[in-house]
Amino acid sequence: MQGNTSKKLLVTSSPHVGSPLTTKRIMLHVIIALSFPLTAGVVLYGLYSLLVVALATGAAVFGEWLYNKIRRKPDTVSDLSAVVTGMILGLNMPPTVAFYVPVVGGIIATMFVKMLFGGLGKNFANPAATARVFLLLAWGTQMMNFVNPVDYGAFTAENFFMGFTADSAYVTSATPLAAIKSSALTGAPGTDLISLFLGTIGGTIGETCKIAIILSAVYLIIFRIIDWKIPAGYFLSVALCSLVFYKEGWNYILPSLLSGGVMFAGVFMLTDYTTSPVTRAGVWIFAVGAGILTVLIRRYGGMNEGVSFAILLMNLLTPLIDKATKPRPFGYTKPKKQKEGAHDGENK
Amino acid sequence: MKIKSFRYGIHPEERKDISKSMAIEALAPGSLLKVPLNQHIGRPAKAVVAPGDAVKEGQLIAEADGFVSANIHSPVSGTVIKRETLRNYLGTKTECIFIENDFKYVKDYLPPAEKERSALIKRAREAGIVGMGGAGFPLDVKLSPKGEIRTLLINGSECEPYITADYRLMAERAEKIVRGVEYLKIAAGAENAVIGVEANKADAYAELMKYVSGDITVEMLKTKYPQGGEKQLIYALTKKKVPAGKLPADIGYLVSNVATAYAMAEAVEEGKPLIERIVTVSGLAVKKPANYSVRIGTSFRELKEASEAEDDFVKAIAGGPMMGVALHSVDFPVTKTSGALLLLTEEEIRSIEPTPCLNCGRCANVCPMSLLPMKTDALILADKIDECRAYHPELCIECGCCAYVCPAKRPLVQSQRLAKKLIRERGK
C-alpha cells in the first residue's frame, strides 16, 4: 500500500464531471444534419452540386489551416467548424457556378470572416452568409443563375453530371421569389406549393428541398444542438410580415416561407452560436428581427432575396441585443440609485 | 401529487445506482483518528485536552471559540497522543487532535435534552452539530436568527450525482429523521416544516410519508441539479425568492438537511454528540461501493481500502462531483461535512482542456441564478474587473452547471470564483 502514497491524483476545482458534448460533437451533429439537404441537392441537380459543396468545404478548411500556418497558431481544423461553414456556403450556391466560385468563397469565409477576427467564437458575422454576400457582389450572374432540376425522364449521363461540361442542357428557370416579388400588388403569387415543398424548382443546392431541411431541423432540435426558438421565431415573423406587407397577404404566407433561403437559414444560419444572442429574450428579438428584415428586403428592396442580408444585419446587432436583454439574476432587485458614480451593493 | 422544482439547472448523469442499494454499514474505527478542529464555518474550536489525556467516546475535546464556532468531541475512547497542525485538503492548515483508539468504546454522552426551544438550541451547540449538507454552518447559530422563522425546510434532495448517504438515511431511518425535524422545528420556533425529497428517491419519500403528521409534511421534488441549493430549494417548495444579499431567515425560512435532523435526534434523545456520519464511497474505481457510518477523524484511506478500490482512479473527491473538493491524497480525515469519497476513473471526469467559447449560450440557459457565465469568463480573463461587476459574479452559487454543460469545456464556474475574489480584493 505504500506505493499508493506516491500516486499522483488530479486536483482541480469543481465540478469534476461534465457533459459528454464537445465542440467537435456539436459540429459532427450539424454535419450529419447538413447531409440531408446535400443529398436532396445532389438528387435534384446532379453530381456537380456535390463537387461545388466539396470545393467550398475543402477551401474553407484550407483557409483555416493556412491562416493558422501563417500565424504559427495551433491547428484548429480538427474542431470541424470549418467543415460546417464550408458545407453551409456550398449549399448556398446554385448548382451551376464555376469551380473557382466555391473555392474563393470558402477561403473568404474562414480565413477572412472567421480567423482574422480571432477564430471560432470570435467572428461577429456569420462566415458563410458573409462569404455568400461577397460572392453575390463578385459573381452576381453566376450566383443567381438558377436552373431546373435534373430531368430524370430524359435521363442521360451528361444530364446527371451537368455542370461538368460547359454547354450541357441547363434550363434556366425563373425562381418563385421573382414571381412573389412581381405579384406583390396583385395578391396572387402563382407559385406551386408542392414543388416548393419538394424542391423541384430552381434554387441553390441546399435550399430548395424543404423536406430535407425539416428533417435536419428535427434532428438538430432532438439532439439539442440548436435552439428551437430561433427557427420558430423566424418562421413566425416571416409569416406575419408576409401577411402584412403583401396584398391579400394570406396567399403569401406559405410561398414566403417555402421559397428562397428562409427555411435553410432559419435552421442552419441564424442558429450559428457565435453570431446569435445568448439571452432568452435576445434570441426571440434576433429571430423576429431577422424575419422582418427578410420580408422587407424581399418586398421593398432591389433584390428578390433578402435572407443573407437579414442574417448579417442581425449578426451586427447581436452584441447590442445581448447587452440590452441581460437577464435579471434570480432574487436580484436593482439597488436604489445612490449618488452618481458611487458603487453600490458590492461593498459588503 | 405535484412535483415541485426550481427553474433551469441540469440533469447530470446520476450514477447513484453504484451505491444506492448498499445498506448503511458501520465502518469499524481504526487505531488512530485525527480529528480536525475546524470542520465548520467560523472560528476553529479550541482544544481542551492535552497529549496523554484519556478520553471517552463523545467527550468534549475542543470547545467552540466564539459565537460562530462548534464543539468537537472524541469519536472513540482512548488516549490523546498529540496535537499537530496539518495541512487540510483545502490547502490551509488545521490543528488536529490525534486519538489512539482503545477499542473499548466507553461512552461519555450528554443526558437527554428537554424538548423546549432554548434547551434544544443549547443541545445543538453542546453536541457540536453543524450543517451536514456541505457548508458546515453551526446549527445553533442558524437556529437563533434575528427575524422570525415561519417554516423550516429540510433538504432531502441529495441532488449531487453519486452520493446516496442521505438517501440511505431516509430509507432506513426515516422515523428518527422525522423526530429530528420536529426538534429542529421547535428549536427554530417555526410553525411548520417541509421535507423535500427528489423524485429519484421515491422509496425514501414513501418511508418519510409513513411518519410525518400534522405540521410536518413531505414534498416530492423534480430530480434536477441543483435542487438542494438553498435558494433553489426555497423557491421549489415555497415559490419565494431569497433577495440577493439576504439570508433565508430574512424572509422567514430556515433550511437544514436530513442528516443534520438525524444528528439532532441523536443528540436530543441519546445525548450523542456529532462524532459519526454517513459517507458514500463510490465511483467506477470502487469495487465494493458502500454507505458507511464513519467516525469523524477516520482517514479516507481506510474507506478506500474497505471498499477495495482499484488503483485506476485519477481523481479522489471529498463530497459530490459537482461541488466536492479534489484531494491530492486520500490521507485526510473524514469531517462532519464529508458526504462522500468518490474515486473517479478517467472516463468519468470532465476534460480540463478548454477550447474557445462558441457563444452557444448553454451556460446561460442552465444557470439557476440567471447569470451569464460566458461573459464573466471572457471579462475576467481579460482582467476587466469593473465591467465584470455588471454580470454579478457575487451572486453565483458555484453549483457548476455552467462548466458541466460547456461543450468547449471552459472553466466557467472557476472564472466566477476568480471574479468574486478579484472583486473582493480590489473592490475596497
| A168 pLDDT higher than 90 | no
Q: Which of B328, B356, B407 sits opposite A21 (nearest CB)?
A: B407
| CA of B36 vs chain A CAs: smallest distance (Å) | 21
Burial class (CB in 10 A: 0-12, 13-18, 19+), A142: middle
Say if CB A183 and CB A189 are below 8 A apart: yes
pLDDT of residue A160: 62
| A1 pLDDT higher than 70 | no
Residue B61 domain boundaries: 24-109+273-345
Q: Which of B235, B356, B390 sits opposite A120 (nearest CB)?
A: B356
Q: Does a structural domain hold residue B324?
A: yes
Q: Which of A26, A283, A346 sits opposite B407 (nearest CB)?
A: A26
A14 contacts B326? CB cut-off 8 A: yes
Other CB atoms within a 10 A radius of the CB of residue A302 amount to 6
Q: How confident is the model at residue B111 (pLDDT cuts 50, 70, 90)?
A: very high
CA–CA distance, A52 with A101 (Å, rounded to integer): 9
Report which secondary-structure segment, H or E, holds B151.
strand B151-156
Percent of chain B residues topping a pLDDT of 90? 85
Say if CB B104 and CB B77 are below 8 A apart: yes
Instruction: Name the DSSP letter for residue A184.
Output: T
Domain final residue, candidates B225, B253, B269: B269
pTM for the whole structure:
0.91
| CA of A181 vs chain B CAs: smallest distance (Å) | 35
Q: Which of B7, B404, B407 sits opposite A15 (nearest CB)?
A: B404
| B60 pLDDT higher than 90 | yes
Between positions 64 and 93 of A, the ones with CB within 8 A of B are 79
- Give the cell for residue A297: 428586403
For B390, name the nearest residue in chain A, comparing CA atoms only: A326
Q: Determine contact: A18 vs chain B, CB below 8 A.
A: yes
| CA of B323 vs chain A CAs: smallest distance (Å) | 5
A17 contacts B349? CB cut-off 8 A: yes
Query: Total structural domains in chain B?
Result: 3
CA–CA distance, B107 with A4 (Å, rounded to integer): 35
B326 contacts A13? CB cut-off 8 A: yes
pLDDT of residue A162: 60
Q: Does a structural domain hold residue B200?
A: yes
B120 and B236 within one domain: yes
| CA of A22 vs chain B CAs: smallest distance (Å) | 4
Q: How confident is the model at residue A236 (pLDDT cuts 50, 70, 90)?
A: very high
| A347 pLDDT higher than 50 | no
Q: Is A174 left (phi over 0), alpha (psi -120 to 50) or beta?
A: beta
Q: Where are the alpha helices (DSSP H) in chain A?
A: 2-5, 23-45, 48-70, 81-91, 100-107, 127-138, 140-143, 157-160, 176-182, 193-198, 210-222, 229-245, 253-258, 262-264, 280-300, 307-324
Say if CB B63 and CB B126 are below 8 A apart: no
Residue A204 has φ and ψ, to the nearest 5°, of -80, 165
Residue B261 has φ and ψ, to the nearest 5°, of -60, -40
The SS3 of residue B216 is strand
For A271, name the nearest residue in chain B, comparing CA atoms only: B360
B138 and B120 within one domain: yes
Residues in chain B with CB shorter than 8 Å from the CB of A336 are: none
B412 and B287 within one domain: no
pLDDT of residue A180: 84
Beta bridge partner(s), residue B160: none
What integer best gives the mean pLDDT of chain A? 88
Rg, chain A, Cα only: 23
| B84 pLDDT higher than 80 | yes
B317 contacts A345? CB cut-off 8 A: no
| A185 pLDDT higher than 90 | no
Instruction: Please compute, for residue B291, the number of CA atoms within 13 A of its CA located in the half-sphere on the CB side.
Output: 22
For A76, name the nearest residue in chain B, comparing CA atoms only: B355
For A75, name the nearest residue in chain B, comparing CA atoms only: B355
B222 and B83 within one domain: no
Say if CB B200 and CB B17 are below 8 A apart: no
Most B CBs within 10 A among A225, A330, A346, hence the mutation to make, goes to: A330
A19 contacts B404? CB cut-off 8 A: yes
Other CB atoms within a 10 A radius of the CB of residue A224 amount to 13
pLDDT of residue B152: 96
B413 contacts A15? CB cut-off 8 A: yes
pLDDT of residue A341: 46
Most A CBs within 10 A among B6, B311, B360, hence the mutation to make, goes to: B360
B311 and B227 within one domain: no
Contacts of A161 (CB under 8 A, 6+ apart): A46, A47, A48, A168
B409 contacts A18? CB cut-off 8 A: yes
Three-state SS across A106-169?
HHHHHHHHHHHHCCCCCCCCCHHHHHHHHHHHHCHHHHCCCECCCCHHHCCHHHHCCCCCCCCC
The SS3 of residue B229 is coil
Residues in chain B with CB shorter than 8 Å from the CB of A330 are: 7, 231, 235, 241, 368-370, 395
Q: Which of B231, B315, B408 sits opposite A23 (nearest CB)?
A: B408
B242 contacts A331? CB cut-off 8 A: yes
The SS3 of residue A311 is helix
Percent of chain B residues topping a pLDDT of 70? 99
Q: Determine contact: A342 vs chain B, CB below 8 A.
A: no
- At B345-371, the pLDDT tens digits run 999 998 888 999 999 999 999 999 999
| CA of B10 vs chain A CAs: smallest distance (Å) | 10
Q: Does a structural domain hold residue B10?
A: no
Report which secondary-structure segment, H or E, holds B154.
strand B151-156
- At B169-198, the pLDDT tens digits run 999 999 999 999 999 999 999 999 999 999
- At B406-428, the pLDDT tens digits run 999 999 999 999 999 998 888 65
Could you tell me the CATH number of the domain that includes residue B31? 3.10.20.600
| A2 pLDDT higher than 70 | no
B127 and B98 within one domain: no
Report which secondary-structure segment, H or E, holds B86.
strand B78-87
CA–CA distance, A206 with A187 (Å, rounded to integer): 28
The ipTM estimated for the assembled molecules is 0.89
B340 and B234 within one domain: no
pLDDT of residue A342: 44
Architecture of the domain delimited by A23-324: Orthogonal Bundle (1.10)
Sheet containing strand B192-198, edge to edge, reads B216-221, B192-198, B151-156, B253-257
- At A315, the amino acid letter reads N
What integer best gives the mean pLDDT of chain B? 93
CA–CA distance, A34 with A28 (Å, rounded to integer): 10
Closest to A297 (Cα-Cα) out of A317, A311, A277, A315: A311
| CA of A115 vs chain B CAs: smallest distance (Å) | 12
B370 and B250 within one domain: no
For A283, name the nearest residue in chain B, comparing CA atoms only: B361
Percent of chain A residues topping a pLDDT of 90? 64
Could you tell me the CATH number of the domain that includes residue B132? 3.40.50.11540
Q: Which of B12, B243, B328 sits opposite A11 (nearest CB)?
A: B328
Rg, chain B, Cα only: 21
Closest to B350 (Cα-Cα) out of B403, B295, B417: B403
B395 contacts A332? CB cut-off 8 A: yes
- At A189-210, the pLDDT tens digits run 778 888 889 988 888 999 999 9
B265 and B119 within one domain: yes
B196 and B133 within one domain: yes
Domain final residue, candidates B252, B269, B286: B269
pLDDT of residue A144: 86
Cα B245 to the center of its chain, rounded Å: 21
- Give the cell for residue B371: 447569470
Q: How confident is the model at residue A343 (pLDDT cuts 50, 70, 90)?
A: very low
Residues in chain A with CB shorter than 8 Å from the CB of B427 are: 343, 346-347
Domain boundaries, chain A: 23-324
- Give the cell for residue B41: 464555518
Summarize the confidence of residues B70-83 as an average pLDDT. 94
Q: Which of A1, A273, A330 sits opposite B359 (nearest CB)?
A: A273
Helix/strand number for chain A, H first, E second: 16, 0
Q: Does a structural domain hold residue B3?
A: no
Q: Does a structural domain hold residue B95?
A: yes
Summarize the confidence of residues B64-68 as an average pLDDT. 90
| A103 pLDDT higher than 90 | yes
B145 and B120 within one domain: yes
B132 and B100 within one domain: no
Q: Does a structural domain hold residue B375?
A: yes
| CA of A318 vs chain B CAs: smallest distance (Å) | 11
Q: Does a structural domain hold residue B327?
A: yes
CA–CA distance, B346 with B163 (Å, rounded to integer): 19
Count Cβ–Cβ pairs < 8 Å, chain A vs chain B.
Answer: 177
Instruction: Name the DSSP letter for residue B298.
Output: -
CA–CA distance, A84 with B273 (Å, rounded to integer): 62
Domain final residue, candidates B217, B235, B269: B269
Q: How confident is the model at residue A170 (pLDDT cuts 50, 70, 90)?
A: low
Between positions 225 and 264 of A, the ones with CB within 8 A of B are 227
Sheet containing strand B24-26, edge to edge, reads B24-26, B290-295, B276-282, B340-345, B313-318, B325-327
Other CB atoms within a 10 A radius of the CB of residue B112 amount to 12
pLDDT of residue A303: 83
